[in-house]
Amino acid sequence: MLEKLKQRWRVSGLSLVLIITTFALGGSLCGWAGRKLLLLMNIDKGIAWILLYIVFITLLWPISVLIVSIPLGQFAFFKKYIARVLNKLQGKMATNTQSIAIFASGAGSNAKVIIEYFNQPVRENLARIRLIVCNKPGAGVLNIAKEYNIPVLLIEKDRFFNGDAYLPEIKKYNIDMLVLAGFLWKLPAALINTYPKKIINIHPALLPAYGGKGMYGMHVHNSVIGNKEKESGISIHFADELYDHGEIIFQAKCPVSDSDTAETLAQKIHALEHRHYPAVIETIVEKQNMS
């Protein structure tokens, strides 16, 4: 359970301990403050006392955990956490559900993980995968789209780069965000301009190293191994009109041992991608919902 919380909240083991401690101390402070207020009001214990106590602790809990979070260094986490709770209580999450289009060219393992992540009940009002965009008719990701009953848009190069970039079709699904998951074409300016800071890409190396045209998949891993690097990893970034360019949002590292091959390194990188990519997308969606 603790490992799942670490992955969901994308925190270290120490931060998780501090977060749980903040929950506990904040709850205690909240309860203590609620009882003190009732004592000042001189109300006898009974139904009215219980109802007022529930009201007080409901109102005092956010303040209490924020106060406790400051000395424990967790204020930023709880500020975001409380904002999300309030959004849910106010019903904003349901009305601000983000529609995502996944662009993929291959087997679609990352696409499947992302789809499953946002299909969970706890996130179904946060974002939904509405469209799969693919440039290869025989790609495995098309089977995944069929499995999850997600519409597919097959694209061809000339219209994508020299025409309208399929924007009319994409807009029919009211897409708010584009997620690139193994999509091998560079994006045309029409898409970049329509979705500024709303196109996310993942690269199987620590950018700016090992990026650029032709640097994808096993080409990256072979280069890393060939150069005898001691570490590699993933880079999640906002995409622009250049290959593997744009502001970096998140990076995660893994060691590269002397016995590693491009194949074993690829397995390590896939594990990082599946662990972090959906959670980073969730974080970005939450920020957009609160903006």
Beta bridge partners of 198: none
Active-site residue list: 203
Mean pLDDT of 19-40: 90
Q: Residue type for 188, please?
A: P
Task: Give pLDDT tens digits for 236-269.
Answer: 999 988 888 889 999 999 999 999 999 999 999 9
Cβ of 141: how many Cβ atoms within 10 Å? Answer: 27
In which residue are the tokens 């009732």 written? 38
d(Cα 93, Cα 290) in Å, to the nearest integer? 10
- Res. 280 pLDDT band, cuts 50 70 90: very high
In which residue are the tokens 């499995």 written? 147
Task: Give pLDDT tens digits for 122-179.
Answer: 787 889 999 999 999 999 999 999 999 999 999 999 999 999 999 999 999 999 999 9
pLDDT for the residue numbered 291 = 61
pLDDT for the residue numbered 264 = 95
CA angle 172, 176, 181 (to 5 degrees): 100
In which residue are the tokens 């090992």 written? 210
φ, ψ (nearest 5 deg) of residue 214? 85, -5
Mean pLDDT of 194-213: 92
In which residue are the tokens 């150069």 written? 227
Contacts for 33 with CB less than 8 Å, ≥ 6 apart: 56, 60, 64
Task: Give pLDDT tens digits for 53-71.
Answer: 898 888 899 899 999 999 9
d(Cα 291, Cα 280) in Å, to the nearest integer? 17
pLDDT at 226 over 70: yes
| Structure tokens that stand for 44 in this block | 């006898």
pLDDT for the residue numbered 76 = 85
φ, ψ (nearest 5 deg) of residue 234? -125, 150
Provide DSSP, the chain: -HHHHHHHHT--HHHHHHHHHHHHHHHHHHHHHHHHHHHHHTPPSSHHHHHHHHHHHHHHHHHHHHHHHTTTT-HHHHHHHHHHHHHHHTTHHHHTPEEEEEEESS--HHHHHHHHHHHSTTTTTTEEEEEEEES-TT-THHHHHHHTT--EEE--HHHHHHS-TTHHHHHHTT--EEEESS--SPPPHHHHHHSTT-EEEEESS-TTTT-STT--HHHHHHHHHHTT-SEEEEEEEE--SSTT-S-EEEEEEEE--TT--HHHHHHHHHHHHHHHHHHHHHHHHHHHHH-
Mean pLDDT of 264-280: 94
- Domains of the chain, CATH where assigned: 2-89 (no CATH), 97-290 (3.40.50.170)
pLDDT for the residue numbered 150 = 95
Distances (CA, A) of 88 to 61, 105, 200: 16, 35, 25
pLDDT for the residue numbered 83 = 77
pLDDT for the residue numbered 93 = 46
Angle between helices 262-290 and 217-226 (to 10 degrees): 120
Cβ of 273: how many Cβ atoms within 10 Å? Answer: 23
pLDDT for the residue numbered 125 = 80
pTM strictly above 0.85: no
pLDDT for the residue numbered 246 = 87
pLDDT for the residue numbered 88 = 62
Task: Give pLDDT tens digits for 66-125.
Answer: 999 999 998 888 887 887 677 666 555 445 789 999 999 999 999 999 999 999 877 878
